[in-house]
Amino acid sequence: MGSTFGHVFRITTWGESHGGAVGVVIDGCPPRLELSEAESQREFDRRRPGQSRLTTQRREADQVQILSGVFEGKTLGTPICLLVWNQDAISSPYADFQRIYRPSHADYTYQAKYGIRNWQGGGRASARETVGRVAAGAVAKKLLQTLAGTQVLAYVRQVHTIVAEVDPETVTPEAVEANAVRCPDPEAAAAMFARIDQARRELDSLGGVIECVARGVPPGWGEPVFDKLEADLAKGMLSIPATKGFEVGSGFAGATMTGSQHNDAFYSEGGRIRTRTNYSGGIQGGISNGEMIFLRVAFKPTATIARAQETVDEEGQPVTLAAHGRHDPCVLPRAVPVVEAMAALVLADHLLRQRGQCGG
């Protein structure tokens, strides 16, 4: 259970990292939206490994296929199924893990929950699962752009202790894609690149923070109580593998401010109600206020490291997980499109919810 996300614009992902395929069904996408496989493919390509020596060397000649819901280049209003085959289904590297619980992976919890697990790769806990999210996110982004002129953009804000300087109001997709780290601050990006390379050599991994902005969200999206815009965003972000924290607007720093500092004063600008500051992060009472929405997501360092580690097997016997060659020392550049996708999915859902209930 729990493989469905969204209320009106609703996605269901499926697929393990090995065996068969991974994919997503989008239900509730409005009709007559122009859509091609190329759009999902582009986002998909951004999240796949092998883009530079920063990321895992595994090659995936993946191709996104649209199996339903699109006709003559336009959405039909019916479910859109997007699929990518698992071509790299070599399970042998995982055979060693068959009865071993890798530290801070989901091996143990899956076994405890289900009494069975697909030990070939991480099963549903693998980053491979996010393929479906990214493919669906591309559709959500297209929808947001088309119906509301809303743009969603994410980028790496922090790797380990290196924090980039980025102006969220003006940052562009081109600046994000300009380097392999997906950090639009070139200087910080270079330092991050070096730090990640060092981690690789040390057979270790690094965490960091991804920031995401949504520009052009009109006032009125989000629901008052449980389905507050920030609540759904928080859920979406914390559902991404390896995330440990979420902030919107002032975030944890806001906890150390006073009300007179933090309150965003209203003013009027050309007939539009604006706020002079934006500590609220574009959301007040769970509902968008027309200002830029921005949020940050904390990622722990990847659990897969190349060093030997102490752990136990299924019988609880101590074993050493052997050192091995390849690993992805920092998942953040590849996670950028996933964060973007989740933000876009939440916003597209609330766009349609608002239109249904309030006719907006």
User: In whole angstroms, how close is the CB of 268 to a copy of itself at the nearest point?
Assistant: 3
CA pair distance 333, 156, nearest whole angstrom: 7
Task: Give 53 or 253: the residue with its C-beta nearer to a copy of itself.
Answer: 253
CB of 301 to a copy of itself, least distance (A): 4
In the bound state with a copy of itself, the residue whose beta carbon lies nearer, of 174 and 255, is: 255
Least spacing, CB of residue 112 vs a copy of itself, in Å: 4
What whole-number distance in Å separates Cα of residue 95 and Cα of residue 297? 33
Nearer Cβ to a copy of itself (32/172):
32
Burial class (CB in 10 A: 0-12, 13-18, 19+), 107: buried
Q: Which is nearer to a copy of itself, 173 or 244 (CB)?
A: 244
Shortest approach of a copy of itself to residue 286 CB, angstroms?
Answer: 7
Strand, coil or helix: 197: helix
Nearest to 158 by CA among 336, 11, 327: 336
Cβ-based nearer residue to a copy of itself, 174 or 287: 287
Q: Rounded to the nearest whole angstrom, what is the least distance from the CB of residue 322 to a copy of itself in the complex?
A: 15
In angstroms, what is the C-alpha Rg of the chain? 21
Residue 20 Cβ, how far from a copy of itself at the closest point, in Å? 4
3-state secondary structure of 275: strand
Q: How far apart are CA 51 and CA 46, in angstroms?
A: 8
Amino acid at 93: P
Cα–Cα distance for residue pair 63/61, rounded to 1 Å:
7
User: What is the residue whose two structure tokens read 């060693």?
Assistant: 96
Nearer to a copy of itself, 172 or 291 (CB): 291
CA distance 271 to 180: 42
